Structure 1
Amino acid sequence: MIPVNVPLLNGNEKKYLEECIDSGWISSEGPFVSRFENEFSKYVGKDYGIAVSNGSAALDVAIKALNFEKGSEVICPTFTIISPVQSLISQGLVPVLVDSNEDTWNMDVHQIEAKITSKTKAILVVHIYGLPVDMNPILQLAKKYNLKIIEDAAEMHGQTYNGKKCGAFGDVSIFSFYPNKHITTGEGGMILTSDANIAERCKKLRNLCFEKERRFVHKEIGWNYRMTNMQAALGVAQLEQIDTIIQRKRAIGKKYNEHFSNKIDLHLPLAQTEYAENIYWVYGLIAKTEEQSVRVQKKLGELKIGTRPFFWCMHEQPVFNNLGFFNSNKFPVAEKLARNGFYIPSGLGITNTQIDEVAENLIKIIANG
């Protein structure tokens, strides 16, 4: 079996985990947590890092820390994982969806301004699959309309926009460290900000809103979203290798591109834009039709080659439709991505021989119709 993702843990991960075990510091109170927060925030270019249990937890905390009134609107993409919109709706906010850019698969920034109303409080940016959202137009809109930017850079460890790290643009930004991310802590997430007040609020919210005056007397609801010292130890070790990780991910993408160029009738991921080079969090492909996508994935599965379909659009999620959201919305580009898109094995643990095997089999499947 060639899985969609195999993580790579070939640095100081074992050494740092042994330090946790030997010292007895395995909980969220251990020293690796603050070390990971400090080193990761410095790497991205933010003043404060708040480590949490996963990327969805990071979104919950980050959004609540902004203290928007219930009913406030937040503009975000329809083509994304469910977590951002779930966090907004669960906190009484109203997601206002935007269609995708056909080339980059990110939100179409040219559609945003028409969605802004007097109730709009923020733009929630989600960088998708390997290329960042075009941030300059969003920064201009945020300034023009006095909006906050929530930056979901869960998939963008080390990626840059015009030379500046993704995650450095938001008033509050989040990352995920799930095993398929460039940096993994097994599960885990991080909130970044340069606002001291937001940082303190995030720290409180992730820790059940304990009060300094009397620990077990609570004035508001928070979460137990803490990251453990063992998770943070993995993160520190992984961050030490981030430059090598980025080089490897781009090499995987380049190798697939070389295999597929002019040999398959699928839409390949865009290698670069004027503001970024693809970091290939995953290597995605767009089939001509939904039927072709399903058939190709089935054939690859029979050969024990893993695939994963693209995200499903938020406006077509039954859970949200049943709550009365998005029932009349149509977003044709995002709908095509969701139906026709899939990705193939491209995790850091994949070998060049496995890449060759995946590519050669995919080419044969396409050639055979």
Structure 2
Amino acid sequence: MGRIDGATGAVIPPIHPSATYERDADLGYSRGRCYSRADNPSYDAAADTLTALEGGAQTLLFASGMAAATAVFQALEPGDHVLIPEVMYWALRGWLHGFATRWGLRVEAVDTSDLDEVRRALRPGLTRLIWVESPANPLWVISDIAALAQLAHEAGARLAVDSTIATPVLTRPLELGADLVMHSATKYLNGHSDVVAGTLTTKVKDDPWARIKAVQTQIGGVLGPFEAWLLQRGLRTLFARVRWQCTSALDLAQRLSAHPNVAEVLYPGLPGFAGHETASRQMKGGFGGMLSIRVKGGREAAIATAAATQVWTRATSLGGVESLIEHRASMEGADSPVPDDLLRLSVGLEAVDDLYNDLSQALGL
């Protein structure tokens, strides 16, 4: 993940804050840079790292995960039919059922873990995109990426995968047949809760990818040079962080499953979890650092548990070095499909015994 700066020998990439670049005497750009909105050199290190990790052809950096995700849909045409998951990141779901629908996309939500339901919903010649999130926030529903890619391509559609939770450490969607992979890089890729960013990586440089690039350049949802540098800083420790978090999350899931005040643990690494078999095939080396628990006693008990934690921090977001706990339904609002008794847990780098003991005392034992 490292690269040496050719000009100075620095082992950490420099930051290039310049917004514009000198033209040649003949008004050309022989050095390949024109304007920072399209091609700041500070993007190169993180973009190239992600392209290599995902096994893709090119990566674009965006100002947020939402900017990256919405660019995929904005590159479509009004009237195009798209399939999205019933369980997915709430902000993108709201944008799709709101702005994107008013703009003219035909948005249909399906259970993407049910291949028969997806097959029935596909409209060959009209469906242009299947968007899937696996594991899907915050119930951690697992969808079969390889099977969905086959269904999409048979219908003349493309498959885009939000792989924020899995990261390229655990899953490489392009190798499973997906056309695009998206990350909210705010989360695991950065890993330090100090930058908001998003990424898209394409399997091939084709016309749909060119349209996505045009959306980014024209709308301007690009990352700043310092944020790109922070992202690359985080990527240098990605594998070490994610592997530790996976080990701790599995340990916590197993222990919490036996806790008398926990009604259910949602985690793909548990053999009894609905998507465990599929997750075992497409997630290599772990099942992620995210899990959710349903607390006996309902909403009030769940909120009281979060309030009583001392090691866990009550905050939204995920994937950082610090462990976070959140009552997700209250964050998402009245139309949330998330149960009122659910707490979402983002496992950080603290000692797993400290994390479990804190949760156990907060749960009432």
TM-score by length of 1: 0.71
- Measure, in 2, the Cα distance between the counterparts of 1:345 and 1:139: 29
Aligned to 1:300: 306
Q: Displacement, 1:97?
A: 1.2
Partner of 2:360: 363
Q: 2:163 corresponds to which letter in structure 1?
A: A
How far is the alpha carbon of 1:312 from its aligned partner? Answer: 8.6
Query: SS of 1:266's equivalent?
Result: strand
Percent identity, aligned pairs only, is 12
Residue 52 of structure 1 and its aligned partner are, at CA, apart by 0.9
Q: Following the alignment from structure 1 to structure 2, what is the Cα–Cα distance between the partners of residues 177 and 18?
A: 19
Structure 1 residues 300 and 356 mapped into 2: Cα distance closer, same or farther (>3 Å)? Answer: farther
Which residue of structure 1 aligns with residue 144 of structure 2? 134
CA distance in 1, matches of 2:196, 2:159: 25
Between the aligned partners of 2:109 and 2:158, the Cα distance in structure 1 is 16
Whether the 8 Å contact between 1:310 and 1:343 is mirrored in structure 2 is yes
Q: 2:258 aligns to what?
A: 262
Deviation at 1:157, TM superposition (A): 1.5
Deviation at 1:343, TM superposition (A): 1.6
- What is the TM-score of this pair, normalised by structure 2? 0.71
Aligned pairs for 1:31-70 within 5 A: 31-65=41-75, 67-68=76-77, 70=78
Q: Does 1:92 align with 2:104?
A: yes
Change (3 A) 1:42 1:176: same
Report if aligned partners of 1:41, 1:47 keep a CA contact under 8 Å in 2: yes
2:196 match: 187
Partner of 1:328: none
Q: 1:202 to 1:79 in 2, by over 3 A?
A: same
Report whether the alignment pairs 1:279 with 2:287.
yes
Aligned partner of 1:19 in structure 2 is: 14
Instruction: Give 1:316 shift.
Output: 7.0
Query: What per-residue deviation string (whole Å, max 9, x for no partner) do you get for residues 150-198 of structure 1?
Result: 222233322545xxx13554323311111x4343460111111123333
**How far is 1:96 from its partner?**
1.0
Runs of 4 or more consecutive aligned structure 1 residues displaced over 4 Å after TM superposition: 15-18, 23-29, 129-132, 311-316, 364-368
1:236 Cα offset (Å): 1.6
Matches within 5 A, 1:142-221: 142-161=152-171, 165-166=172-173, 169-178=177-186, 180-184=187-191, 186-193=195-202, 194-208=204-218
SS of the aligned residue for 1:342 comes to: strand
CA spacing shift, 1:166–1:132, aligned 2, 3 Å: farther
Q: Is the 8 A contact 1:249 1:279 kept in 2?
A: no
- Contact (CA 8 Å) 2:127, 2:156: kept in 1 or not? no
- Residue number among 108, 111, 117 corresponding to 1:111 in the alignment: 117
Q: Compared with structure 1, are the counterparts of its residues 36 and 91 closer, same or farther at alpha carbon in structure 2 (3 Å cutoff)?
A: farther
Once residues 244 and 126 of structure 1 are traced to their aligned partners in structure 2, the CA distance between those partners, rounded to angstroms, is: 23
Task: Supply the distance in 2 between the matched residues of 1:107 and 1:312 (Cα, whole angstroms).
Answer: 26
Deviation at residue 340 of structure 1 after TM alignment: 3.6
Amino acid at match of 1:98: V
Structure 2 distance, partners of 1:294, 1:25, is 52
Point out where structure 2 has 5 or more consecutive residues left out of the alignment. Answer: 5-9, 20-35, 270-275, 315-324
Q: Which amino acid aligns with 2:105?
A: L
Task: Write the letter of the residue equivalent to 1:298.
Answer: A
* 1:252 aligned residue (230, 240, 248): 248
For residues 338 and 152 of structure 1, the distance between their equivalents in structure 2, rounded to whole angstroms, comes to 22
